[in-house]
Amino acid sequence: MRDAVRATAAIAGLGITEMGKVYGRTASDFAGEAIALALEDAGLKAHDVDGLLVNANQSTESVPTLQFSLGLTDLTLVNVMSAFGSTTGTMLQYAAHAIATGQASVVACLYADAPLTEGGSISQSGYNGRRFNAPGLAGLRFAYGDYGPANSGYALALRRHMHLFGTTHDQLATIAVGQRAWAQMNPRAQMRKPMTIEDYHASRWVVEPLHLFDCCLVSNGGVAVIVTSPERARELRQPPVYLRGFGQCAPGDTARRERDPAVQTGATKAGAMALRQAGIELADLDVLELYDCYTYTVLVTLEDYGFCEKGEGGAFVADGKLAPGGALPCNTGGGQLSSYYMWGFTPLSEGVIQARGQGGERQAAKHDHVLVSGNGGVLTFHSTTILSKHEGDA
Assess if residue 2 is contained within a domain: no
Res 376 pLDDT > 50: yes
3-class DSSP assignment, residue 314:
helix
Reported as a pLDDT band with limits 50, 70 and 90, residue 327 is very high
Higher pLDDT, 142 or 7: 7
Distances (CA, A) of 148 to 75, 127, 151, 159, 207: 38, 9, 6, 16, 10
CA distance 293 to 284: 26
Assess if residue 360 is contained within a domain: yes
Assess if residue 160 is contained within a domain: no
Res 226 pLDDT > 90: yes
Enumerate helices (H) and strands (E) in the chain, giving the number of each.
Answer: 13, 11
Per-residue pLDDT, averaged over 179-203, amounts to 99
DSSP class of 71? T
Structure confidence at residue 64 (pLDDT): 83
Q: What is the 3-state secondary structure (H, E, C) of 77-120?
A: EEEEECCHHHHHHHHHHHHHHHHHCCCCCEEEEEEEECCECCCC
- C-alpha count within 13 angstroms, C-beta hemisphere, residue 142: 13
Assess if residue 384 is contained within a domain: yes
The domain spanning residue 238 has which CATH number?
Answer: 3.40.47.10
Assess if residue 89 is contained within a domain: yes
Peptide bond into 209 cis (omega under 30): yes
pLDDT per position as a tens digit, 200-221: 999 999 999 999 999 999 999 9
Closest listed residue to residue 383, CA positions, set 268, 267, 275, 298:
267
The one-letter code for the residue type at 394 is A
Number of Cβ atoms within 10 Å of the Cβ of 66? 22
CA distance 240 to 148: 40
Assess if residue 209 is contained within a domain: no
For residue 49, count CB atoms less than 10 angstroms from its CB and return exposed for 0-12, middle for 13-18, buried for 19 or more.
buried
Res 363 pLDDT > 60: yes
Structure confidence at residue 258 (pLDDT): 60
Closest listed residue to residue 313, CA positions, set 301, 325, 324, 329:
301
Contacts of 366 (CB under 8 A, 6+ apart): 286
For residue 118, count CB atoms less than 10 angstroms from its CB and return exposed for 0-12, middle for 13-18, buried for 19 or more.
exposed
Closest listed residue to residue 311, CA positions, set 150, 171, 152, 151:
171
How many domains would you assign to the chain?
1
Q: Which of 55-64, 204-213, 298-307, 340-349 has the lowest mean pLDDT?
A: 55-64
Closest listed residue to residue 353, CA positions, set 186, 197, 163:
186
Beta strands (DSSP E) in the chain are 10-16, 51-55, 77-81, 106-113, 205-207, 210-211, 221-228, 241-249, 287-289, 369-376, 381-388
Assess if residue 185 is contained within a domain: no
pLDDT per position as a tens digit, 143-157: 656 666 689 889 999
Percent of the chain with pLDDT over 90: 79
Q: Which of 199-203, 261-265, 370-374 has the lowest mean pLDDT?
A: 261-265
Assess if residue 275 is contained within a domain: yes
Q: Confirm if 6 and 245 have CB atoms less than 8 A apart.
A: no
Res 387 pLDDT > 50: yes
Q: Confirm if 370 and 328 have CB atoms less than 8 A apart.
A: no
Structure confidence at residue 237 (pLDDT): 98
Strands 10-16 and 221-228: antiparallel
Reported as a pLDDT band with limits 50, 70 and 90, residue 69 is confident
Angle at 170 between CA 185 and CA 202, to 5 degrees: 75
Closest listed residue to residue 301, CA positions, set 283, 317, 277:
317
Catalytic residues: 291, 341
Per-residue pLDDT, averaged over 177-206, amounts to 98
Domain range for 356: 10-118+216-388
Structure confidence at residue 125 (pLDDT): 39
Closest listed residue to residue 105, CA positions, set 237, 232, 222, 6:
232
